[in-house]
Chain A
Amino acid sequence: MDVSHSIRERTIAENSLVILLQGLHGQVTTVDLRDESTARGSVINVDAFMNIRLEKVLYRDRRGRVSSMDDLFITGRNVRYVHIPDSMNIIETIETQLAKIHRVRNFGASGGRKEYSKKK
């Protein structure tokens, strides 16, 4: 998953645990929603607002009915829990994600010409 192109999103991610969720790219996880339904699928993207995109999803609604969805987008506001796979090293994932953001920010600094990222 690429680092977000938005400075604002990178800064928000850097300062919150959302950055951990962004390291879940490709992993199969279960997301519990506020309304007590759950969605299990592979993480395609998580943005700084915790909006989560999953694919190949098994969605169980709050009444227990299961259906499968190809592509699912959950609004960040409606996320209650995200299950981190046991196999994942949380600290390492956070550090890797932080390093990605710093690489983007310092792009070119060691070479001489620094890109000043300015929103126009």
Chain B
Amino acid sequence: MVVLKSLHPPSEGVRLQQADTTAVLDGKRLGSGTLFVAEAHLSWFDGSGMGFCLEYPSISLHAISRDLSAFPEEHLYVMVTAELDDEAEAEQQDKASDDEESDSDSEDSGTITEIRFVPSDKAALEPMFSAMCDCQALHPDPDDADTDDDDYEGEEYDVEEAEQEQGRGQGDIPTFYTYEEGLSHLTSEGQATLDRLEGMLAQSVAQQYHMAGVRTDVPSVEFEDGMEVDSSTVTGQFDDADVDHW
């Protein structure tokens, strides 16, 4: 099934790279090379740049095998199944493997290919296994009817529901947002309110500012014209003011 092609090793999303790894395909040793566990594909290349590439959805299972009676070396076992609807590939495999193997009789799940990756460094088996698990999780079954985009919305409703349930005894406790999160939740009304409040805050600070000078309890807004006069007579009066505004 898997023919060695001249391919390029993956350039991005490489979770793990393991050199000095022999690949054994359905019992046939392909020599030593480098295994690439990348987020998009699983691939292996021998010394001459020839290799093969596997798609994660086609991998049924992978495992660390330390059972020396099954295979003389500890290795990473990978089982690849052809897809049911991939008839062309299945036919091709039947033709190719007819003389070689006796198990080419059509199974319900199509033809199975067993690949063993034998690293010279046996300690690498666990990281190789984990990297594959992580990448497999990135490729969930697209045919699975349960995976719905509605699930996201379901989560939000649940949160509100839970708040209401909790609200019986603790409804007064507000939900706190960080500044950015809060801003993104504002309606246009909310934004108007925020602007008004900020304006009021700004004014009250301005009042404090001018309180350092002559006028104390008179709002500065009413004396806009007078402000010009003030500035000419009290220039420098606020130099020591701590209020750092505008």
Chain A interfacial positions (CB closer than 8 Å to B)? 7-8, 10-12, 15-16, 33-36, 39, 47, 49, 51, 53, 57, 59, 62-63, 65, 67-78, 102, 105-106, 109-110, 112-114, 116, 118
Contact = CB atoms under 8 A, between A and B. Distances in A.
A7 B156 CA distance: 10
Pick from A8, A70, A75 the residue with the most CB of B within 10 Å: A75
Nearest to B145: A16
B163 A12 contact: no
B155 A71 contact: no
B63 A59 contact: yes
B121 interface: no
B175 to A, nearest CB: 5
A7 B152 contact: yes
B147 A70 contact: no
A78 to B, nearest CB: 4
Nearest to B84: A34
A15 B176 CA distance: 28
B62 A73 contact: yes
A11 B152 contact: yes
Interface of B: 57, 59-67, 69-71, 77, 81, 103, 107-109, 112, 126, 129, 132-133, 136-137, 140-141, 143-144, 146-147, 151-152, 154-155, 158-159, 162-163, 166, 170, 173, 175-177, 181
Contact of A105 (B108, B151, B159): B159
20 contacts: A7-B155, A12-B151, A15-B151, A35-B108, A49-B141, A49-B144, A53-B133, A57-B63, A59-B63, A62-B112, A67-B65, A67-B71, A70-B63, A72-B63, A73-B136, A75-B61, A78-B60, A105-B159, A105-B162, A106-B162
B119 to A, nearest CB: 14
A35 B106 CA distance: 11
Contacts of A68: 65-67, 70
A76 B65 contact: no
Contact of A72 (B61, B137, B144, B152): B61
A95 B61 CA distance: 30
A15 B153 CA distance: 13
Contacts of A102: 162
B140 A49 contact: yes
A22 B173 CA distance: 33
B181 A33 contact: no
B146 A15 contact: yes
Nearest to B166: A109
Given A59-B63, A106-B162, A116 B109 contact: no
List 9 A-B pairs, minimum CB-CB distance, nearest first.
Answer: A67-B70, A72-B63, A69-B63, A11-B151, A78-B60, A49-B140, A68-B67, A77-B141, A35-B109
